[in-house]
Amino acid sequence: MAIQLPAGLRPHLTEIEEALVDVKTVVLADSCYGACDIADSKAKQLGCDVLLHYGHADMGLRTCLPTLYVEARMNVDPAEAVEKALRVQKFKRLGIVTTVQHVGVLRQVENIVRSQGIEPLIGKPGPRAKYPGQILGCDWGAARSVAGRADAFLYVGTGRFHPLGVCMATGKEVVVANPVAKGSEKVTLDIERFLKGRRAAISRAAACDSFGILVSTKPGQARFKLATTLVSKFKSAGLDARVLAMDEITPEKLGDFTRLGAFVCAACPRIVIDDAERFDRPVLTPFEAMAMLGKASIEPYQMDEVLSSDF
């Protein structure tokens, strides 16, 4: 059996192994950021007959080995943080979103919201999510499905990427209830500032004539069809472009491609939004690339999301 764990769960490896009595195991120690990064092929190559993937929910990818998903749940009571968040301002209807680590408390959160006289709205999962209300950095479907009826969103969880993503994908304010820090904050994205940064990246890229279209070989990020379509569109516009495939996309790996002026990321959508500053050259989303080529308008801005038609 192969065991695959994200970084945050690796300190618990020995507890996991102790529970697997009489099972020969091998630990896959490469980075693992999501269920998009399922290592079934590597496990098979090592002669394993089953993969145990910890931390993330199944996003429906086909695997070459039987794969067991053990979803991580954070065992923290959200009540205090949610009550604080609801004091931030008055709402009539509130969309509720979270990540897989907190989906288990969504009913409790819904009841707290209702007890304050606010109508809770929990959206249907998008194509990559498993649970109502669950969002991913590549799938904002659960937020978008209720955005038309919600005054704002309540995000239950940690970190800033997901609340900012909900702001961008829906245009609504997001109030964060952080059950770990037991705190709350209002996240209002400065859309003008965000767009200014993205427009600047597009104009820097537009001054280049040679591009790399990035795909990852991680099964759920290998948007090869999208990448080859982009290469054709760049070539039709008289620009030089090719697909660069790699497992993990890092500035170091791109460093040797000194003749390429800019990149388009057809892998994980988080790379462009979260990591843009780490790269020494512009990295655009596929939507931004289309805007650069004059085939889309930058407003309304579209967050990059992974679709089955990308593969």
Question: Segment 174-193, which members bind ligand SF4 (CB under 6 A)?
Answer: none
Decide: helix, strand or coil at residue 263: strand
Whole-number Cα distances in Å, 100 to 70, 72, 131, 156, 157:
11, 7, 8, 10, 9
Q: How far is the CB of 273 from ligand SF4 (least distance, A)?
A: 10
If one asks whether residue 291 binds ligand SF4 (CB under 6 A), the answer comes out as no
Q: Where does this chain touch ligand SF4 (CB under 6 A) — which range of 19-27, 79-87, 135-143, 162-170?
A: 135-143
If one asks whether residue 231 binds ligand SF4 (CB under 6 A), the answer comes out as no
Q: How far is the CB of 306 from ligand SF4 (least distance, A)?
A: 6
Q: How far is the CB of 220 from ligand SF4 (least distance, A)?
A: 6
Helix (H) or strand (E) holding 197: helix 191-206
Query: Which bin fits 171, alpha (ψ -120 to 50), beta or left (φ > 0)?
Result: left
Contact map string, positions 24 to 43, toward ligand SF4, x by CB under 6 A? ---------xx-x-------
Nearer of residues 163 and 261 to ligand SF4, judged by Cβ: 163
Query: Is 2:42 a contact under the CB 8 Å cutoff?
Result: yes
Decide: helix, strand or coil at residue 51: strand
Decide: helix, strand or coil at residue 275: helix
Q: Where does this chain touch ligand SF4 (CB under 6 A) — which range of 17-25, 136-144, 170-178, 287-295?
A: 136-144
If one asks whether residue 142 binds ligand SF4 (CB under 6 A), the answer comes out as no
CA 144, 108, 96 angle in degrees (round to 5)? Answer: 15
Number of residues that bind ligand SF4 (CB under 6 A): 11
If one asks whether residue 168 binds ligand SF4 (CB under 6 A), the answer comes out as no
If one asks whether residue 101 binds ligand SF4 (CB under 6 A), the answer comes out as no
Burial of 187 (0-12, 13-18, 19+ CB in 10 A): middle
Sites of contact with ligand SF4 (CB under 6 A): 33-34, 36, 136-138, 220-221, 268, 270, 306
